[in-house]
Amino acid sequence: MLGRCAPGSPGPRPVVRALPPSASALRQRLRQCAERIPEAGAVLDLLEKCPEHQKKGGFPVIVFEGLDATGKTTVTQAVNDTLNGVLLRSPPACISQWRTVFDDEPTPIKRAFYAAGNYILASEIAKASTQAPVIIDRYWHSTAAYAIATETSGKVQDLPPAQDEVYQWPEDLLKPDLVLLLTVDPEERVRRLQHRGLEKTKEEAELEANSLFRQRVEESYKRMVNPACQEVDASPSKEEVLKTVLQLIKKHCAF
């Protein structure tokens, strides 16, 4: 099954193979699977409708990244309310109902789905940023960080080196003005998860059970470049975190 859908032959760069580097690579991978997976054809149809070169409008585009229970939902909503912005999420609503389908597929197909979501989201960002500030709950860095951490076994030092191309933003994907990485210490994050009492995703269960996987995800976030993540300690009160975030937005984004 994987052989029918995964492009190329096995080689020394599994992370690169798992993470399609461009929209054209995504389309190729989805076409190969569309006959077997109808939802892949539906994602491809949406992707084909996206303009090839997305351009940002005049308002700032701000992305929030981080593991679950680091406060992304609370902070993004508060920032959006403060700036009177447009709040978007990845994967976008138009394909999020198919997450369970692709989460059970082989890794190359799963990663193609999440990567495609970013390009579809870029169309929404391009339009919204002509009218208001755009606040985004996860974007490309999440797709890349989880792919890199999943495709690498072992400790942080076993990740691809810091200058590897897997940490680069795709050249054909609309870039945000600012990416903020929310972090809390592992014990506090687990406490928040238990307090929420929500059903865990497969990757969240892995994060909780496997500290090495969590460390690889966090380090992968920190190695992203062009744009890099600005780290924010999300341990203090939500009022303090919001104040810090708004100061960073004021510093890095022109209104």
Taking the domains of the chain in order of start, what are their residue ranges?
Answer: 20-252
Please tell me what DSSP assigns to residue 225.
B
For 20-50, b/e burial (b = at least 16 CB within 10 A) is: bbebebbbebbebbbeebebbeebbebbeeb
As to burial, measured by CB atoms within 10 angstroms (0-12 exposed, 13-18 middle, 19+ buried), residue 176 is: buried
Is residue 221 within 8 A of residue 138, CB to CB? The reply is no
Indicate whether 232 pLDDT > 60.
yes
User: For position 160, what pLDDT does the model report?
Assistant: 92
Q: Which CATH class is domain 20-252?
A: alpha beta
Which pair of structure tokens corresponds to residue 251?
A: 């510093």
User: For position 189, what pLDDT does the model report?
Assistant: 60
Indicate whether 84 pLDDT > 80.
yes
Q: What is the pTM of this model?
A: 0.86
Which pair of structure tokens corresponds to residue 190?
A: 């687990």
pLDDT in tens, 29-80: 999 999 999 999 999 999 999 988 889 999 999 999 988 778 888 999 999 9
Mean pLDDT of 186-202: 60
Degrees to nearest 5, angle at CA 72 with 161 and 201: 75
User: For position 25, what pLDDT does the model report?
Assistant: 92
